Amino acid sequence: PTGGLRRVTIQCPDPCFKKKHQKRRMVTNRLVEELAEHMPSGAVLFVQSDVAQVAMQMADTIASVAPGAFVRVERLPAAMGEAAGCNAEPAIEPVRRVRATAGRDYQDKDVGGGEWEHKGAGAIEGSYNWLPDNPLGLMSERESSTISRGLPMFRALFQRVERQAAAPAAPVVAAVAANEETKKAPE
């Protein structure tokens, strides 16, 4: 039902590294449109990945597909954190995995050609400003394993807001400019 989702988390989705498979990535235009429709104002959307380009693509898609529906925030809204039993404390320490698999670090790879729709739309003043800690206070196994290996996590938190009606800025500016021109016109 519309307005039924209060918190959605997307954590370390399959990166679909091959360019021809990128259409299978989890965060798509359609998913973001559905989330915007079914999340009430004040609900939060948390995304994270251990692959920088996947996190960038998720943030870009969220920022551009539903303009004005989601805004980036740095922490959970106070009321939501209290209701969910979360507090403002930092996330728990990751479980140190003595025998953590070496894994592969894809951070510097040119994943799938490095191109995707809406590229750069999620950046704020040229930077993605990833969250340093998990705002939910509980790590997934993938997140814990990644941090234990000394690799970074790329996190973003969005809050659902009511979309603002597009202001008729251009016609107003044009009308003011026309009015100024008539004042300056010689008689």
pLDDT tens sequence across 136-178:
888 888 898 888 888 899 999 999 998 654 444 344 344 444 4
Higher pLDDT, 170 or 7: 7
In 3D space, the residue among 100, 2, 96, 10 whose CA is nearest the CA of residue 51 turns out to be 10
CA distances from 149 to 50, 57, 95, 171 (A): 11, 24, 11, 55
- Confidence at residue 121, expressed as pLDDT on a 0 to 100 scale: 79
Contact 57, 20 (CB under 8 A): no
Q: What is the mean pLDDT of the chain?
A: 73
Per-residue pLDDT reduced to its tens digit, 96-136: 545 544 444 444 345 445 667 778 778 887 788 899 989 88
Catalytic residue among 14, 60, 105, 110: 14
- Confidence at residue 68, expressed as pLDDT on a 0 to 100 scale: 86
- Confidence at residue 114, expressed as pLDDT on a 0 to 100 scale: 62
14 is an active site residue: yes
CA pair distance 170, 133, nearest whole angstrom: 41
pLDDT band of residue 33 (cuts 50, 70, 90) is very high
pTM of the shown model: 0.69
CA pair distance 57, 166, nearest whole angstrom: 25
- Average pLDDT value for residue range 32-54: 92
Per-residue pLDDT reduced to its tens digit, 109-118: 454 456 677 7
